[in-house]
Structure 1
Amino acid sequence: MVIVALIAILGFTFWLRPLTVFRIFNEAQMYQIGARSNFIDVGGYRIHYYALGPANGPIAVLVHGLGGRSEDWEKLAPFLAKAGYRVYLPDLPGFGQSDKPANFSYSVGDQAKIVVGFFDALGLKQVDLGGWSMGGWIVQLVAVRHPDRVRRLMLFDSAGLYVKPDWDTRLFTPISAAELQKFDTLLMPHPPQLPTFVVRDILRTLREHSWIIRRALDSMLTGRDTTDNLLPGLKMPVLIVWGEVDQITPLSEGQKIHQLIPQSQMEVIPGCGHLAPNECATQIGPSVVAFLGQ
């Protein structure tokens, strides 16, 4: 009877708060790949991060995108760790397990300052730096403002150019199952059909944190901090990785970034969308390791 009751409780918990269960499972997966969870103070904010790979290895830092979190790198980070890199995966303010301060701007410019502050807090003098989507925009600014701190730069389906999206940006904070399905279709070429109780919990969670995403998006859509005129000044090697069928930041944007950075190299991943670093990590990982080892 005790086992039956326990199964019933677990089943009810999963039905009521499936995202909580998914997060616990995701954190367990991070532990399984050797990542260890830590917190550090950066500019007065409590910042969560994972670290994995040999402690004395060369440093790589990967920055997630809008609405993302450090666990998003769970598939790609092990490629770097196995190649001997010490990999750090921070949660930006407002996301994951980091503080969500009401008085923070959530602009890419201020998030870039947090990333540099993260370097300083951990004593990281120079790193190989990567960013995905909004995170790609953030690391572009870090590389432009602090070129001495970035040995090599990696941009994954990155934002940052002065381009008005041709899709409804309100879908980043969907308020209905139909809007969530439209957003998933933008993110993935073949989105899964989610159960109703999972959709309900996703929408509940988004209602709680949509103000952060909205504030970040509003700042980005002003066109401040765009990097079109800054990218030609980068001198470090740059790897650009793009999902061929990305609808959030289309391939044309990656190609323009490639043109703006003369010394960059570009990898286009067939059949992958905006979530390429996660969904197509097996194709991307070897290229990233090869780039960092050049």
Structure 2
Amino acid sequence: MSDKDTTYRVNVNGVDVFYEYYRHPYAKETFVLLHGFLSSTFSFRHLTPLLKQDFNVISIDLPPFGNSEKSNKFIYSYENLGKTVIKLLDQLNLQDIYLAGHSMGGQIALNIMKMKPDLVQKGILLCSSGYLKRMKWHVSMLSYIPFFHLYIKLWLTRSGVRKNLENVVHDIQMINDEMMFGYLKPFLDDDIFKALTRMIRDREGDLTVPDLKEIQTPCLLIWGKHDRVVPLNVGERLKKDLPNSQMIVLDETGHLVPEEKPEEVKQHILSFIQGNNKVLEGQPG
């Protein structure tokens, strides 16, 4: 726990989980934020200050990312990550939350809505991953090779932080030193690469169409029109398969919507939560 009483690290489901918790003096409703692959709570650094004006906000570093434990024993399936979030929220005695997930975090959010639908009032999917298959068997087998984690480290080093960021934002002018270091910092610990090796092995496929059709939680899908990581057609498929969903498409925006358009994202979220559909008129999907 920090001096400012906003950051915590607790053991949940056999792994140490780091999270930020901002308590609003008057709000009763809580927002829970789940980041994407190779990311952390850092990716919500522009959205969190906006949401905490109106809500309690919890932003979680999903293991093995950010400041959470990089265990080589934890099962890094999306289902187990979802169970870990559920157990953390149970420890905090939280119910009827608003759950927002970006990219991989969106798929984990969907798992949570499927496993414990009464936990989530409404879901917000920010360029959520979807329809990805289980890792090919030969890649999973390769993960058992000693020192395979060094190949992962080499691959990430070669691709580079800046190149990866240029792929996830529409306007590369927004990339600065603070942004690059924020996304680089968690990977200065070599244990992350061993945990990612385990994640490759544990990663199951995304939820199937029948699974998605069972989810009755109202969901707002917010997508970047120029998303090159999870293209818009994935969002359109999710909107079709999630029975109670709406969709917003943001112009001049890539994959990293919480960074690129935090003000617009917040306004769409507020309209969705308040049941105001005016903001949705004229939007694709």
Letter in 2 for 1:292: I
Correspondence for 2:146: none
Distance 1:293 1:78, change over 3 A: farther
The structure 1 residue matched to 2:199, chosen from 213, 216, 227, is: 216
The structure 1 residue matched to 2:47, chosen from 73, 76, 86, is: 76
Please identify, of 39-48 and 98-107, the stretch whose mean Cα deviation from structure 2 is larger.
Answer: 39-48
Separation in 1, partners of 2:31, 2:102? 14
Separation in 2, partners of 1:69, 1:207? 16
Letter in 2 for 1:285: K
2:58 is aligned with 1:88: yes
Structure with bigger gyration radius: 1
Percent same amino acid among aligned pairs?
25
Task: Extract unaligned runs of 5+ from structure 1.
Answer: 1-26
Letter in 1 for 2:86: V
User: Alpha carbon RMSD of aligned pairs, Å?
Assistant: 3.0
The structure 2 residue matched to 1:149, chosen from 119, 126, 131, is: 119
The structure 2 residue matched to 1:47, chosen from 1, 14, 17, is: 17
Correspondence for 1:59: 30
Correspondence for 2:188: 205
2:156 is aligned with 1:174: yes
Distance 1:160 1:54, change over 3 A: same
Letter in 1 for 2:65: F
Q: How many residues get paired?
A: 252
Provide, for residues 4-39 of structure 1, a one-character-per-residue CA deviation record: whole Å limited to 9, x for no partner.
xxxxxxxxxxxxxxxxxxxxxxx9xxx7xxx82122
Provide, for residues 127-182 of structure 1, a one-character-per-residue CA deviation record: whole Å limited to 9, x for no partner.
111111111000100001111111101101111323699xxxx7995222x55454
Letter in 1 for 2:42: E
Q: What secondary structure does 2:86 align onto?
A: helix
Q: Quick check: 2:168–2:256 contact (8 Å CA) kept in 1?
A: yes
Separation in 1, partners of 2:92, 2:119? 13
Letter in 1 for 2:126: F
Provide, for residues 61-118 of structure 1, a one-character-per-residue CA deviation record: whole Å limited to 9, x for no partner.
11111111123212112332212x1111111121122222110122211111111111
Separation in 1, partners of 2:269, 2:81? 24
Q: What secondary structure does 1:174 align onto?
A: helix
Q: What secondary structure does 1:277 align onto?
A: helix
Correspondence for 2:281: none
2:170 is aligned with 1:189: yes
Letter in 2 for 1:213: L
Please report the TM-score for the alignment, with normalisation by the length of structure 1: 0.75
The structure 2 residue matched to 1:105, chosen from 75, 85, 98, is: 75
Q: Quick check: 2:130–2:234 contact (8 Å CA) kept in 1?
A: no
Correspondence for 1:235: 216
Letter in 1 for 2:20: Y
Letter in 2 for 1:230: D
Please report the TM-score for the alignment, with normalisation by the length of structure 2: 0.78
Separation in 1, partners of 2:115, 2:37? 21
Q: Quick check: 2:225–2:250 contact (8 Å CA) kept in 1?
A: yes
Distance 1:181 1:82, change over 3 A: closer
